[in-house]
Structure 1
């Protein structure tokens, strides 16, 4: 893809697999403690996704929106819908089929409340309208990102972000992280992953907005040099070092700040010729990461029902089998559903290529 930052694509794929290990960690008591500690914090990969999504959406869409103004908004929203909904709908349909099977066999369906299904169909389940995660749990973040997509044109057309100088953009990022910190601390939260139905939307909107401002910041000095890489790496070390030294409560500001520095470093590093993150198999993990992220939760439930006797102690062999099957499923969904669905939904909008041509 023209203009693709391959380091960021690879990072997205690795983050998706961190979320996978976060959800399956309870059945892997044999994992070494350092790896288990990383798996316990796998939910933070979603915060990385939100920042990265804001960065990438700004990079791909800001020129078209600024050039065409309000006329470009329908095309932008339709393009984002086409990007996320075909696969989302297929996974949700599979989850509904699974819930129906549970109902027909007389099993517990408490995790699949039928009254909330219309919200899931409309991708509105995490807009403060529900009290708990249900159906396909990871889809909460897609619901929150859908809200961010709806608000993104307002950010571009009604604020001076595209014209702001770097110090002002930096101040804006600090403000957004501060808003998230104060919101969570006011409710007594010390980590980013608690009470997602209540806090997931603000978590997404602030981090997505921070990612968009970060991209504007990067575009004003995108040339890669040793100083830019060292400064962004220093930011990662500073914020995550403070997080580790000052306690888990600082996670709600230190992780987003450090993740923003990491994305900035990866964006600069995408211009390096010999970058190990540009290795094609790693980039491919990023390309299929949406399928991995959206499918893994229900795939794990089905896998355990079919092949696992003790869900609290899953052998390394069974783990390897599941990971291999998930990778194959991600490939099939990406090439068989996600890409064709995107093409099918974009066909009725021939003007997209004109409106967004310079952004691809």
Structure 2
């Protein structure tokens, strides 16, 4: 895994962050779902950057995570400020509470089990989170914070599902695109299902971006390079 593999996901995070920060003046309804997508992509990148599948002993793992946390809190601070101006202190508090809970408690706890988690278990965790989101209303402060935290957890398990899956396979990319399309159709046809269908579309879109970074061209057999003299001899032999 190379840093270039992060570019589609990190680029989408930066673009979405800019759109969400501008949404109160252009499209206020985009702020809550956009924030949920940002939590999902943020967790995906945190897990993708964290190569330590085996945790450090004692509190060292938690301390090393907290040392890197201060840079990741900057987008959440800006987002909370925008939410404060657009929707009041309730949404701003939900963003900050979810960010602190996810970074300080959720990820250090979940990272102890995801290192030994298989692809099937990651998928089961994703389905369980989507089912839970169908029952959580984000209109209140506690409900919004719970939904943001749940999307952070969904991003972690989505990344684990991708890391455990096929690498550079066009078929996996097609499946992710198809899943995102199906979830989007469900959300469009049934507005009551958007509590979980939009979240499923976000997870499938994150998988699509990750697969786009690793899909490779068809493998060609290696052939030795020919020097100028060898090329001339080959032409004479013909």
Structure 1 residue 240: Cα displacement: 0.9
Query: Structure 1 residues 228-237 or 55-64, which shifts more?
Result: 55-64
Aligned partners of 2:98 and 2:148 also within 8 Å: yes
Normalised TM-score (structure 2): 0.76
Question: Residue by residue, what CA displacement relative to the aligned partner does 1:58-90 show, whole Å, maximum 9, x if unpaired?
Answer: 12235166244532211211210244259949x
Q: Which residue of 1 aligns with 2:231?
A: none
Q: Distance in 1 between matches of 2:75 and 2:176?
A: 36
Q: Distance in 1 between matches of 2:11 and 2:45?
A: 13
Question: Residue by residue, what CA displacement relative to the aligned partner does 1:258-278 show, whole Å, maximum 9, x if unpaired?
Answer: 10000001011123579xxxx
Superposed, 1:116-155 pairs within 5 Å as 133-134=88-89, 140-151=94-105, 152-155=107-110
Q: Distance in 2 between matches of 1:156 and 1:18?
A: 30
Question: Residue by residue, what CA displacement relative to the aligned partner does 1:274-297 show, whole Å, maximum 9, x if unpaired?
Answer: 9xxxxxxxxxxxxxxxxxxxxxxx
Q: Distance in 2 between matches of 1:156 and 1:164?
A: 10
Question: Structure 2 unaligned runs (5+)?
Answer: 218-238
- Segments of 4+ in structure 1 off by > 6 A? none
Q: Distance in 1 between matches of 2:97 and 2:5?
A: 25
Could you say what secondary structure the match of 2:89 adopts?
A: coil
1:258 pairs, out of 155, 177, 201, with: 201
Q: Distance in 1 between matches of 2:74 and 2:42?
A: 16
Aligned partners of 2:40 and 2:154 also within 8 Å: yes
Aligned partners of 1:243 and 1:251 also within 8 Å: yes
CA RMSD of aligned residues (A): 3.1
The change in CA–CA distance for 1:85 and 1:46 in structure 2 (over 3 A counts) is closer
Aligned partners of 2:76 and 2:95 also within 8 Å: no
Q: Which residue of 2 aligns with 1:332?
A: none
Superposed, 1:198-347 pairs within 5 Å as 198-246=142-190, 248-272=191-215
Q: Distance in 1 between matches of 2:198 and 2:68?
A: 30
**Based on CA coordinates, which of the two structures has the bigger radius of gyration?**
2
Q: Distance in 2 between matches of 1:57 and 1:84?
A: 12
Q: Which residue of 1 aligns with 2:115?
A: 162
The change in CA–CA distance for 1:22 and 1:88 in structure 2 (over 3 A counts) is closer
Q: Distance in 2 between matches of 1:250 and 1:142?
A: 27
Structure 1 residue 198: Cα displacement: 2.4
Normalised TM-score (structure 1): 0.52
Q: Distance in 2 between matches of 1:79 and 1:216?
A: 20
Q: Distance in 2 between matches of 1:146 and 1:73?
A: 14
The change in CA–CA distance for 1:44 and 1:83 in structure 2 (over 3 A counts) is closer
Aligned partners of 1:236 and 1:262 also within 8 Å: yes
